[in-house]
Amino acid sequence: MTVSQRIAGLWPRRWPVQPFREPSWANQEPTYRDCSPALIEAAGKRASARPSGNWFVLGASRSVRPDRPFGVTVGGRELVAWRDRDGGVRVGPGACPHLGAPLADARLHRGELVCRWHGLRLGGDRRGAWAPVPAHDDGVLVWARLDETGREQPTERPVVPARPGGGARIDAVATLSGICEPEDVVANRLDPWHGAWFHPYSFARLRVLSASQGVEVAEEEDRFLVEVTFRLAGRWGVPVVAEFVCPEPRTVVMRIVEGEGAGSVVETHATPLGPGADGRPRTAVIEATIAASERPGFAVAAKLAPAIRPLVRHTAARLWRDDLAYAERRYALRA
């Protein structure tokens, strides 16, 4: 018996980090037999049929600061977000109604945008053809309701996934973009089988326990249930059981249902940006990680959240650099 095997035999099972054994990458159990393209397509179609109320994620709440505007494009539409005097989020067209100056470069004064070209003030009221759109700040992400882009029945609030409530938590938001459409991002997330093959640096011992099949699936049963170990270093990781669900067309949520950090979520939101200079579509992946734990040590870690967030964003960005290649390839084949 090796030293590592002795340590594994004596390691307390109640601890979150566990040693594990696994075959080499090429000797893993193939997953292509279970990963049916029709199954992923059907799950994506069910997601696309759910209402969004025309709400789109713009970015992290922290990105919309009280001292400067935040510019973004959604569906080819230029937008600007800012905070009013009470700290509430406002969103409006990104071009000044006077001569089209970029309002992302405006100054903020007393909760209003002041155009740097000619000093026109814009706030919460209509100014000619320029008018704010409904906005929502859920504390982690900022949303805007764009009825002309979504073309659905509008709703008062977006479909915000259930998040861990109360106690200590850490949230971080990573944003990347790729040449694809939102459905390609959703399809990537609805393929959990690729995790240990495509991301061996992060996932090990991945097994899909159950998957929604067929076109007619009850809402409460429409999920993928996955057993996986989040790799920390070498053959040490955190084993959990997680579910993947789609609460609306452009959102996939991974929620830990068993194991360390139960209730913690990773929300993947796909926001269409519009065509690039080459005419091909661009989509932003805005991924929010909201981690929580009842362990006393996590409360200490939560106090260090400003230092931890960059690490979380770096990990998410590394995964999505690979996954955007998956989504872009899917779009290229379809197009």
Domains assigned to the chain:
29-50+161-334 (3.30.530.20), 55-150 (2.102.10.10)
The Cα 76–Cα 148 span in angstroms is: 11
pLDDT, tens digit, 9 for 90 and up, residues 239-255: 999 999 999 999 999 99
Q: What is the pLDDT of residue 23?
A: 86
pLDDT, tens digit, 9 for 90 and up, residues 98-135: 999 999 999 999 999 999 999 999 998 999 899 999 99
Q: How many CA atoms lie within 13 A of 103 on its CB side?
A: 28
How would residue 5 be classed by pLDDT, with cut points 50, 70 and 90? Answer: low
The answer to whether 249 touches 182, Cβ cutoff 8 Å, is yes
Q: What percent of the chain has pLDDT over 70?
A: 93
State pTM to two decimals: 0.93
pLDDT, tens digit, 9 for 90 and up, residues 192-228: 999 999 999 999 999 999 987 755 666 667 899 999 9
Structure tokens at 166: 């109360």
The answer to whether 58 touches 173, Cβ cutoff 8 Å, is no
pLDDT, tens digit, 9 for 90 and up, residues 149-176: 999 999 999 999 999 987 789 999 999 9
Q: What is the pLDDT of residue 104?
A: 98
Strand stretches in the chain, DSSP E = 18-19, 55-60, 70-74, 77-83, 89-93, 107-109, 112-114, 121-122, 135-137, 141-145, 169-178, 203-211, 224-233, 236-248, 251-259, 265-275, 281-292
The Cα 222–Cα 218 span in angstroms is: 6
SS3 of 196, please?
helix
